[in-house]
A and B are shown apart, each in its own frame.
Chain A
Amino acid sequence: DAKTTQPTSMDCAEGRAANLPCNHSTISGNEYVYWYRQIHSQGPQYIIHGLKNNETNEMASLIITEDRKSSTLILPHATLRDTAVYYCIVRPTNAGGTSYGKLTFGQGTILTVHP
């Protein structure tokens, strides 16, 4: 599985954009980049995913570089409720086998949003 590298922690002021980087330099051509977050003592929550193109949904935007070796998750207007651990994960795309779609979580980035 391709590995990802994220900063250990980041701070952001409430109302400002939070830009969380992720390095995945060994990503394969058909592997997706997924982002999840985990608020303290809860299960992870899906945020967004992408392959090549930039993606946007109601929660965030995902910017993937042209060489696909890195990406940035953008929370456009961070709130206190966005304080969480954010995980960037590259998902294997093997279509067969009983472990299709399994996710490998790294340490993630602890994002703290300040008032």
Chain B
Amino acid sequence: GAVVSQHPSWVICKSGTSVKIECRSLDFQATTMFWYRQFPKQSLMLMATSNEGSKATYEQGVEKDKFLINHASLTLSTLTVTSAHPEDSSFYICSARPNPGQGGIDTQYFGPGTRLTVL
């Protein structure tokens, strides 16, 4: 149980285009999901907290107009990198926190990540 999927697993795009990444909780509902970014040889950096039915909360220094987050259902959050540039190339990872009452452990379950390369 507690499986989180991401799609796509990797994507290559041209500079200036937008890319959408999906994060799904497959066997539980999650009002709260999180988006992280990880550059090579670095740790995960939290970008934003995604809340179903409300606006995302962005960490300091993360441009909300560039990284659009939509959390339209209890099992799906999307991250859209708008007008991508080479410096946006990174490993993007989402996580989901099961809603209370579903059993299991109160923690975040992570997706496998999406590797974005912007040419």
Contact = CB atoms under 8 A, between A and B. Distances in A.
Interface of A: 34, 36, 38, 41-46, 49, 87, 98-108
Classify the secondary structure of B's interface with A. strand
Give me the 9 closest cross-chain CB pairs, A-B, nearest first. A43-B110, A105-B44, A105-B43, A44-B110, A99-B49, A98-B57, A43-B93, A43-B113, A43-B112
Contacts of B45: 105
B54 A43 contact: no
Contact of B108 (A38, A103, A107): A103
Classify the secondary structure of A's interface with B. loop
Contacts, number: 58
A36 B109 CA distance: 10
Contacts of A41: 91, 113, 115
Contact of B34 (A34, A87, A102, A108): A102
Contacts of B105: 46, 49
Contact of A101 (B32, B43, B54, B93): B32
Interface of B: 4, 6, 32, 34, 36, 43-46, 49, 51, 54, 57, 91, 93, 95, 97, 105-113, 115
Contact of B93 (A44, A99, A106, A108): A44
B49 to A, nearest CB: 5
16 contacts: A36-B110, A41-B115, A42-B113, A43-B95, A45-B110, A46-B107, A46-B109, A98-B32, A98-B49, A98-B51, A101-B97, A101-B107, A101-B108, A105-B46, A106-B43, A107-B43
Nearest to B93: A43
Of the listed residues A46, A49, A102, the one surrounded by the most CB atoms of chain B closer than 10 A to its CB is: A102
Nearest to A100: B32
Contacts of B49: 98-99, 102
B110 A102 contact: no
Contacts of A34: 107
Contacts of A98: 32, 49, 51, 54, 57
Contacts of B6: 43
A42 B112 contact: yes
